[in-house]
Amino acid sequence: MKDAKAPRGIQSIEVGGQLLLALAHHGRPMALKDLAREAGMTPAKAHPYLVSFIKLGLVEQADGAGPYGLGPLALQLGLISLQQYDPVRLATPVIEDLALRLGHTVAIAVWGTRGPTIVRVAEGPAPVHISMRHGTVMSLAGTASGRLFATWRADDAALLAEPLPDARATAAVREAGLATSRDGVVAGVSAAAAPVFDAAGRLVLALTAIGPSASFDTAPDGTLALALREAAQVLSQRLGHQRPD
């Protein structure tokens, strides 16, 4: 009897998993009827699965009655998956060293389902009290990390429903090999981000420094920019990237 029941259990997981796939694909909370339709089932059939997913933390529902979105466990699993990616492991000790040398907070951002996502943070001597935590998604047009990904992963960025930096801004990023932001998202806070490429020439992560504008040098030939670019180039070389002549 156990063997006969085993396929039903597996099938049930696969059926319920369609709801999670739909949420991940759309990247935003969805009403029950819309979510059920995308998963190919009726709302009545979808609801028990969603109740169980909520208990596990894979799904959450706003105010207990609103649309359904991915929950904290789903985010945690996604971040763990991203953190296990080799480039992130290679870059982790690098940002810790940079934070000490530069005196600013330094983070690693990678491309996630919702855009540039922070997966590692090394606090500087004077931490900046803004949203720079694991799982933070950075604006494409308003942050240094976002502009970097919008420049070198333009096709991916174009799929997101949010404003993009203009052509002049992305051209400036390519020319400098660095993206900067002064008093952008938060007044008094500046940032700079350098790209790390893999063997295929694909941008895999950004090394992003952030700090108070009064003591943060955003000059493309300044000490901070040079240190970020050098560290990014070393990581790129370790990943097999060959710089063009």
Q: For residue 236, give Cα distances in angstroms to 46, 88, 232.
A: 45, 12, 6
Name which residue leads in pLDDT, 100 or 12.
100
Residue 66 in any domain: the answer is: yes
User: Which SS3 state, helix, strand or coil, does residue 178 take?
Assistant: coil
**Is the domain of 180 the same as that of 100?**
yes
CATH of the domain at 25: 1.10.10.10
pLDDT of 38-55, one tens digit each? 999 999 999 999 999 999
Q: Say yes or no: 53 and 93 in one domain.
A: no
For residue 189, the cross-strand partners are 212
Give the pLDDT confidence of 58-91 residue by residue, as tens digits. Answer: 999 877 778 998 888 887 887 776 565 589 989 9
**Domain identity same for 139 and 220:** yes
* CA–CA dist 146, 139 (Å, integer): 5
| Residue range 191-211, pLDDT digits in tens | 999 999 988 899 999 999 998
Examine residue 126 and state whether it is found in any structural domain, yes or no.
yes
> Is residue 23, in this structure, part of any structural domain at all?
yes
Residue 222 CA to residue 227 CA, distance in Å, equals 9
Range of the domain at 102: 85-238
Q: Report CA-CA distances (Å) from 201 to 109, 163, 233.
A: 17, 25, 12
| CA separation for the pair 244, 41 (Å, rounded) | 51
Same domain, 89 and 137: yes
Overall residue count recorded for the chain in this entry: 245
79 occurs within a structural domain: no
CB of 192 closer than 8 Å to CB of 228: yes
Contact assessment for residue 101 and residue 120, using Cβ atoms and an 8 Å cutoff: no
> What CATH number did the domain enclosing 160 receive?
3.30.450.40
User: Residue 190 falls within a domain, yes or no?
Assistant: yes
| Whole-model pTM over 0.75 | no
Check whether residue 222 and residue 101 sit in a common domain.
Answer: yes
* Residues 146 and 230 both lie in one domain: yes
The answer on 31 and 102 residing in a single domain is no
Return d(Cα 227, Cα 105) in angstroms, integer.
14
**Residue that the structure tokens 């596990």 belong to:** 56
What is the number of domains present in the chain? Answer: 2
pLDDT digits (tens, 9 = 90+) for 99-139: 999 999 999 999 988 899 999 999 877 666 565 677 888 99
